A and B are shown apart, each in its own frame.
Chain A
Amino acid sequence: MTAPLIWIVFPLLAGFLLLLLPRERLVAYLGTIISALLAALAFWLPSDTVRQLGPFSLRIESTLILFGRQISLAPAQQIVLVLVYGIGAFWFFGTLAVGNARRIVPFGLVVTALLVASLAVRPFLYAALLIELAVMLSIPLLIQQGKAPGRGLIRFLIYQTLAMPFILFAGFLLSGVDVGPADVGLVAQAAILLGLGFAFLLAVFPLYTWVPLLAEEAPPYAVGFILILFPTFSLIFGLNFIDNYSWLRDSAQFSEALRSVGLLMIVTSGVWAAFQRHLGRLFAYGAVAETGISLLAISLPDKQLGLQIFFYLLVPRALALGVWALSIAVFEKQVPDLKLSSLRGMARAFPLATAGLVLANLALIGAPLMASFPIRQVLWENLATLSFPSAIWFGVAGLGLWLGALRTLMALVQSQEDVPWKSNETWDQRALIGIGLLGLLLLGLFPQWAQSLLSNLPAMFEHLGK
């Protein structure tokens, strides 16, 4: 048995089979169990490692040869599998509370498997093709039932599709640069194409217009899933480029460009978030800012530290975006639209969803005692030693996101005095939001718990990880 068969082909087949099942709750449970088992197996039995199970000796080969190309999930990548399928299990379990499992779970599994394949394909350049396939299969996930596709969805498809040709061409030019890095003209051409490709793929400023549009028109829980998975895999894909080409790795201008783009993303999303009147759009700007944070982390001169910040932020980010999206989905069923004016006073009827919404938002921004706080603090400190104005802009962006969270809270609690407090959430919703919030708090209080799992992740990069 090979690792790609287990973590790519099996979930792909499972996803397609789950499409055939008629019962929502069954699909949600099966999707959660499959995803959790795949995460557990990746943790317990990394590829190319022998484990004894009673009289049996188990070993999973890391490489599969397909049409003369290698599909390989190396032992160093196993923790990414644990994280990704763990996030999948958490997300699929959440469909018990928000519904729509027959759409989110099967397509979610298929998209996850394709994104894992993008991590495994050799040469890594072909990941662009697999990410494009995942984009196309995520379209049904993002359709609001009974509604025509909106502009956000169309732009998502266009922008993500345009990324692929740019990246593949850049890859071809980069192979020439690798042979003769002294050719400045070729380096510039490759850098421009690569920059354009990743600008489309990562929804970098000003190409992120589809994100708030999509969050406004598509089911929030599905949007959250897409906004955690796609940027994460695209960033890992980008890190592979940096790892493979020394001129990118060692270039000071490249790091500065990354830092500027990251800051621009954080500042613009912070400023827009402060003025938003729609919960979905606010959520979208929070997710865009997270991509900016990741770019900032990668731009740090200490590459090891940058990678650790990038990977350490994944768990709190997934948890916070999950609770946030879940809470928005709870409100979505109660009001005609997600404008703050429509949500006035809802805190008294949905106190747990309100807590989930505001606390997840604050956790993502890096509020003290919450999960992202210690990691963002390290990033901010390093940024300050590197460039004080950058650190100030980082603070300004955070302020904007804080204002967005406080405006949400203000709208939700504005109510008549005589309205009684009553929790109208279902038991599923209460349990999931509660567990999510507890997780965010525990990770903030004991960040060292995730350390043992995540500390080896930079080792998946041959040069950056050393």
Chain B
Amino acid sequence: MPYFSLWVAAILLAVASIGLLLSRDWRWSLGLLAGQYLAAFWLTLAYWPLTMSAAQLVTNWMAVAVLGMTQLDIKNDPVSETSWPEGALFRAFAAGLVLITVTSAAQPVNAWLPNASLPLVWGGLMLIGMGLLHLGLTVHPLRITLGLLITLAGFEILYASLENSILVTGLLAVITLGLALTGSYLVSLNAPEEAPETAAE
């Protein structure tokens, strides 16, 4: 696979994860998550056989679908209608900080992972950073689930260069799907009470 196309995929990952942080509408968020998984598939294709990468992509999209179906069932849609105390500017600034940190850390981390390419490491770290930022900014179950899924996707990208065991890939896919189901369960429990999204302490 051309090196250039790996960078395109990595940049798409960054755009999708920043978009996920800035977006308040769950439809946009889930669309961006699906796009992020497509870019992740593109990156891992350089390390895994097509069948394994495709199986992972399908599982990840199933996870997005599970979250989407749960949101459709919720009538009062608290995620779309409420906003965090932090404005979009603050979140964009925080995302910028993550971007700078990841860019400076990618090269040294690449030295730890002998088989990985720089775009893969950069993309993986970007997702991990943005996922952790997500987790630090919210206590809403849907946002928390998105944060965990983003972090896990970043880890999966990095781990793809180290491990291509079917059992591990299968277990990671089950975990992604399991997280989506757990998130959906928590979102559905949260739904009756119109709990506003508040910043984590």
Whole-angstrom distance between the Cβ of A213 and the nearest chain B Cβ: 11
Q: Which residue of A lies closest to B198 (CB)?
A: A151
27 contacts between A and B (CB under 8 A): A67-B165, A126-B167, A126-B168, A129-B171, A132-B175, A133-B178, A136-B175, A136-B181, A136-B182, A139-B185, A140-B185, A148-B189, A149-B186, A149-B189, A151-B139, A153-B186, A154-B139, A154-B141, A154-B144, A154-B186, A157-B182, A161-B179, A165-B128, A165-B151, A165-B159, A168-B155, A172-B163
Decide yes or no whether A87 CB sits under 8 A from chain B: no
Known: A147-B189, A148-B193, A165-B152. 19 other contacts (CB 8 A): A66-B167, A69-B165, A69-B167, A126-B171, A133-B174, A136-B175, A137-B178, A139-B182, A148-B189, A148-B190, A148-B192, A148-B195, A149-B190, A154-B186, A158-B148, A164-B175, A165-B151, A169-B159, A172-B163
Chain A residue contacts of B128, Cβ below 8 A: 165
User: How many residues of chain A get a CB closer than 8 Å to chain B's CBs?
Assistant: 31
Partner of B175 from the list A129, A139, A147 (CB cut-off 8 Å) is: A129
Interface residues of B in 110-146 (CB under 8 A from A): 112, 128, 135, 139, 141, 144
Contact between chains at B182 and A68 (CB < 8 Å) = no
Decide yes or no whether B66 CB sits under 8 A from chain A: no
A-B residue pairs, 10 tightest by C-beta: A165-B155, A67-B167, A129-B171, A136-B178, A69-B167, A67-B166, A148-B190, A149-B186, A136-B182, A148-B193
Chain B residue contacts of A130, Cβ below 8 A: 171
Chain B residue contacts of A140, Cβ below 8 A: 185
Contact between chains at A68 and B166 (CB < 8 Å) = yes
Chain B residue contacts of A173, Cβ below 8 A: 112
A143 to B158, CA, bound (A): 33
Q: List A residues at the B interface (Cβ < 8 Å).
A: 66-69, 126, 129-130, 132-133, 136-137, 139-140, 143, 147-149, 151, 153-154, 157-158, 161-162, 164-165, 168-169, 172-173, 189
Most chain B CB within 10 A, of A133, A154, A164, is at A154
A137 to B185, CA, bound (A): 11
Q: Which residue of A lies closest to B174 (CB)?
A: A133
Whole-angstrom distance between the Cβ of A324 and the nearest chain B Cβ: 27
Q: List B residues at the A interface (Cβ < 8 Å).
A: 112, 128, 135, 139, 141, 144, 147-148, 151-152, 155, 158-159, 162-163, 165-168, 170-172, 174-175, 178-179, 181-182, 185-186, 189-190, 192-193, 195
A189-B189 contact in complex given A67-B170, A149-B141, C-beta closer than 8 Å: no
Whole-angstrom distance between the Cβ of B109 and the nearest chain A Cβ: 10
A154 to B167, CA, bound (A): 28
Partner of A68 from the list B141, B165, B193 (CB cut-off 8 Å) is: B165
A166 to B152, CA, bound (A): 11
Chain A residue contacts of B192, Cβ below 8 A: 148
A67 to B189, CA, bound (A): 36
Whole-angstrom distance between the Cβ of B102 and the nearest chain A Cβ: 15
A154 to B141, CA, bound (A): 7
Whole-angstrom distance between the Cβ of B191 and the nearest chain A Cβ: 8
Contact between chains at A133 and B171 (CB < 8 Å) = yes
A139 to B184, CA, bound (A): 12
A165 to B22, CA, bound (A): 25
Whole-angstrom distance between the Cβ of A340 and the nearest chain B Cβ: 25
Contact between chains at A158 and B175 (CB < 8 Å) = no
Contact between chains at B152 and A161 (CB < 8 Å) = yes
A136-B190 contact in complex given A68-B167, A129-B168, A157-B144, C-beta closer than 8 Å: no
